[in-house]
Amino acid sequence: MNIEQSLQKAEQLLASWNKEATHPETNRLDASIAADDLRPAVTALHDAHWGYLSAITGLDLGPDSGQMEALYHFCCGAAITTLRIRLPRTNDATLPTIEDIIPPATFFERELHEMLGFKIAGAKSNERLFISDDWPEDVYPLRSDFSIEQAKPVEGRHADELPDQGVVGGNTFVIPIGPQHPALKEPGHFEFTVDGEIVTAARMRLGYAHRGIEKAAESRNWIQNLYLFERICGICSHTHAMAYSMGVEKLAQVEVPARAQAIRELVAGLERVHSHLLWLGVAAHEAGFDTLFMYSWRDRETVMNLLEQLTGNRVNYSANVLGGVKCDVGLEQANAIKDGLNYLETRIRHYLEVVTTDTMFLNRTRGIGTISYDEAEEFGLLGPTARASGLVRDIRVEAPYGAYGRFPVSSVTETNGDLEARCVVRLKELLVSCFTMRTIIDNLPEGPLTVRMPRKIPAGETISRVEAPRGELFYYIKSNGGENPARVHIRTPSLCNWVSVLEKAVGRQLADVPMLIAGMDPCFSCNDRLVTTVSHTRSGHTGDGKSGERKTWTWKELREHGIEYYNR
């Protein structure tokens, strides 16, 4: 089915509720529907297996228009259908929940509620997922008239009000994993109720690393934002920058030179190698196989050095600029990359052998956390986690972008859906990446690296999707024609994959839980980019109970406070 047929089919499916349909871009259908028609419309798309719910974007159109919008983005291959619901801009704007139709929607809906103040009717849980618990009621950070003065912490509440249930009764008690725990290198909070060693319930809480990047983007210009978005994630920084710049280039209708696109794909490939090797180490460590951890991280240094040689940076490469790339691949770099890839390929083959033959490691991965194809589809899984269950979710293949049309990759899938399959998928994917990167280096198109970009981007909205190492990365970018974006909404792959952990942990042994968490390769900093959090450490909590007043502490003051605190 090509894009046009897909969109036609979607239009037919939605015909009875569709008030107004437009095609803002060739691969997009924008259907305005009423809030009451949302559930039947979503059911129609879902029952017809028309793609999957990729993200829900909330838009505040400002006090002047007095309206808010919720956009439900469904993706099927390269085709995107957006259900657009317009509601009055009040705290009573209510949307019906769709979490019973599409389970992962619960994360998107909670985000919509906490950030923009849509009420979700019929949602199972009203607990806060992202915003801290001392955030005042009815203050929504992504509303256009939000000001930081409104965000005074509620007195008498803590940022994290998770009730510590301790021993629930009998042999059942709650094991907290996080926000600070040796298993997690980033903050997230999980509560696993265990009966002896068996997990009987799972809960989670995110938002410990909120940095308010979406909000911050609205007050920075297009170029500054590139560097801001690059810092969303320390592991897949390039894909964030690439998704953003591709979106902005689409809005500005600028064609990026072929050489720049190829280099973007090359850096993305190197980044995938570094990300998956890092993941392999973490997974091995969670399983208690530290030798594999040490070796895979040693070999990861090779690709880190290559990235540094190519771009000058090891973590936030800033290879992209709007309209192209900053770094060129010369003969020296090309040879270094080829040598590095040769070495890495032998190592990756070796690790592939280890994870499929080492009996002790297989004890911890084979048949554990098995997700069937149907479940993967139902949970809305993305990236390697979905591909391990045989579900092809790979934007590089489904909707080739940039240079992926010219230098295609093949999608690697496995059918078992257990932790072993997720190891195998990731490692095999690296072999494919290595092959593609060689092809790119050998056939690098000649030409300039950048084209000129306008400072002001024409008004419009676009969707930019990129395959990050963890899965589909979704950017919604809206411009009002100014120097700053009007709204950028980002949905990272980790957010969609959480369901796999929460659903699969129940009934398993506690010892398998860290492996299950690691199995989806979670990235907390990606999840938690959403809101301006005025945290306790930044606000002036002096320990004497006066939580009302706030100030920003300098490093010196903080240090003196620390010394004074211990002298008391």
Q: How far is the CB of 369 from another protein (least distance, A)?
A: 13
Cα–Cα distance measured from residue 186 to residue 420, given in angstroms and rounded to the nearest whole number = 24
Q: Return the residues of window 182-201 that contact another protein according to CB under 8 A.
A: 182-183, 194, 196-197
Give the nearer residue to another protein in terms of CB position, either 246 or 280.
280
Closest CA to 212 of 114, 322, 72: 114
Please tell me what DSSP assigns to residue 450. B
Q: How far is the CB of 494 from another protein (least distance, A)?
A: 19
User: One symbol per residue from 220 to 239: x for binding another protein (CB under 8 A), - otherwise; what is it?
Assistant: --------------------
Structure tokens at 458: 């024409």
The reply to whether 289 sits near another protein by the rule CB under 8 A is: yes
One of 288, 482, 507, 562 touching another protein (CB under 8 A): 288
**Quick one: which segment of 281-289, 322-330, 381-389, 404-412 binds another protein (CB under 8 A)?**
281-289
**Quick one: which segment of 43-51, 72-80, 179-187, 392-400 binds another protein (CB under 8 A)?**
179-187
The reply to whether 363 sits near another protein by the rule CB under 8 A is: yes
Cα–Cα distance measured from residue 211 to residue 533, given in angstroms and rounded to the nearest whole number = 7
Structure tokens at 520: 């989806």
The reply to whether 162 sits near another protein by the rule CB under 8 A is: no
Q: How far is the CB of 131 from another protein (least distance, A)?
A: 27
Cα first-last separation, the chain? 72
Question: Residues 206, 522: contact at Cβ < 8 Å?
Answer: no
Give the nearer residue to another protein in terms of CB position, either 28 or 422.
422
One of 11, 358, 377, 483 touching another protein (CB under 8 A): 358
Give the nearer residue to another protein in terms of CB position, either 177 or 477.
177
Q: How far is the CB of 185 from another protein (least distance, A)?
A: 11
Cα–Cα distance measured from residue 134 to residue 118, given in angstroms and rounded to the nearest whole number = 19
One of 140, 295, 351, 401 touching another protein (CB under 8 A): 295
Question: Residues 486, 479: contact at Cβ < 8 Å?
Answer: yes
Residue in the block written with tokens 């009966």 = 195
Cα–Cα distance measured from residue 241 to residue 213, given in angstroms and rounded to the nearest whole number = 13
Q: How far is the CB of 363 from another protein (least distance, A)?
A: 6
Cα–Cα distance measured from residue 189 to residue 178, given in angstroms and rounded to the nearest whole number = 4
User: One symbol per residue from 500 to 529: x for binding another protein (CB under 8 A), - otherwise; what is it?
Assistant: ---------xxxxxx---------------
What one-character-per-residue DSSP string does 53-71 give?
Answer: EEEEEEEE--TTTTEEEEE
One of 24, 62, 77, 176 touching another protein (CB under 8 A): 176
Question: Residues 96, 35: contact at Cβ < 8 Å?
Answer: yes
Give the nearer residue to another protein in terms of CB position, either 472 or 512.
512
**Under rule CB under 8 A, how many of the chain's residues touch another protein?**
34
Cα–Cα distance measured from residue 212 to residue 75, given in angstroms and rounded to the nearest whole number = 26
Give the nearer residue to another protein in terms of CB position, either 352 or 510.
510
Closest CA to 385 of 268, 270, 523: 523
Closest CA to 394 of 436, 444, 364: 436
User: One symbol per residue from 59 to 98: x for binding another protein (CB under 8 A), - otherwise; what is it?
Assistant: ----------------------------------------
Q: How far is the CB of 163 from another protein (least distance, A)?
A: 14
Question: What region, left, alpha or beta, does residue 173 occupy, with left being phi > 0 and alpha being psi -120 to 50 degrees?
Answer: beta
Give the nearer residue to another protein in terms of CB position, either 331 or 360.
360
Question: Residues 445, 258: contact at Cβ < 8 Å?
Answer: yes
Per DSSP, helices labelled H in 126-257 are 213-217, 222-230, 237-252
One of 34, 294, 506, 558 touching another protein (CB under 8 A): 294
Structure tokens at 473: 């990365």
Q: How many residues does the chain have?
A: 568
Question: Residues 386, 530: contact at Cβ < 8 Å?
Answer: no
Give the nearer residue to another protein in terms of CB position, either 189 or 210.
189
Cα–Cα distance measured from residue 132 to residue 126, given in angstroms and rounded to the nearest whole number = 13
Q: How far is the CB of 509 from another protein (least distance, A)?
A: 6
Q: Return the residues of window 429-448 that contact another protein according to CB under 8 A.
A: none
User: One symbol per residue from 131 to 160: x for binding another protein (CB under 8 A), - otherwise; what is it?
Assistant: ------------------------------
Give the nearer residue to another protein in terms of CB position, either 181 or 338.
181
Cα–Cα distance measured from residue 39 to residue 58, given in angstroms and rounded to the nearest whole number = 17
One of 64, 149, 163, 166 touching another protein (CB under 8 A): 166
Q: How far is the CB of 370 from another protein (least distance, A)?
A: 16
Question: Residues 36, 94: contact at Cβ < 8 Å?
Answer: no
The reply to whether 567 sits near another protein by the rule CB under 8 A is: no
Q: How far is the CB of 531 from another protein (least distance, A)?
A: 29
The reply to whether 173 sits near another protein by the rule CB under 8 A is: yes
Q: Tell me the pairing of strands 460-468 and 324-325.
A: unpaired
Closest CA to 531 of 150, 123, 62, 180: 150
One of 128, 152, 157, 181 touching another protein (CB under 8 A): 181
Contact residues toward another protein (CB under 8 A) are 166, 173-177, 181-183, 194, 196-197, 284-291, 294-295, 298, 358, 360-361, 363-364, 509-514
